[in-house]
């Protein structure tokens, strides 16, 4: 498979689709654990583990039903599993997850740096 993509960077990541434990029927447990979850994600970012994360909105982009995705830099599936288990959302049972391997081999990241204003834009 790798040969099909030639010179691509072939960056291996792990992604974790996450979803509320609907045994709770409401998002109360998710919302009650939101701040510890966000704090944990910030710690992953500071340690260079977090690649990306965010909620999945409904198709009309008006509502969040509790689903999301986290992409982490992990050397193995077991390392990614440990990272996921330590998330307060998962520890308390408010959310469930599944660890999946993902290879990033297409796309771009654009950085615009304005020396005059000192501002940058990432798209």
Domain ranges within the chain, ordered by starting residue: 8-122
What is the C-alpha separation between 95 and 76, in angstroms, rounded? 22
Give the range among 1-10, 15-24, 50-59, 97-106 with minimum mean pLDDT. 1-10
Task: Estimate to the nearest angstrom the gap between the alpha carbon of 103 and the chain centroid.
Answer: 14
3-class SS at 56? strand
What digits encode the pLDDT tens for the residues 19-59?
887 665 677 888 898 999 999 999 999 999 999 998 888 88
pTM of the model: 0.75
Pick the CATH number of 8-122 from 3.40.50.880, 3.40.50.2000, 3.40.630.30, 3.30.70.1060: 3.30.70.1060
């Amino acid at each position: 498979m790798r040969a099909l993509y030639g010179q691509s960077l072939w960056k291996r990541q792990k992604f974790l689709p996450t979803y509320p434990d609907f045994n709770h029927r409401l998002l109360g447990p998710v919302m009650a654990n939101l701040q510890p979850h966000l704090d944990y994600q910030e710690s992953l970012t500071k340690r260079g583990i977090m690649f990306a994360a965010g909620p999945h909105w409904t198709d009309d982009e008006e509502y969040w039903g509790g689903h999301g995705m986290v992409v982490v830099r992990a050397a193995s599936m077991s390392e990614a599993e440990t990272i996921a288990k330590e998330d307060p959302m998962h520890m308390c049972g408010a959310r469930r997850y599944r660890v999946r391997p993902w290879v990033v081999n297409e796309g771009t990241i654009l950085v615009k740096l304005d020396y005059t204003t000192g501002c940058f834009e990432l798209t």
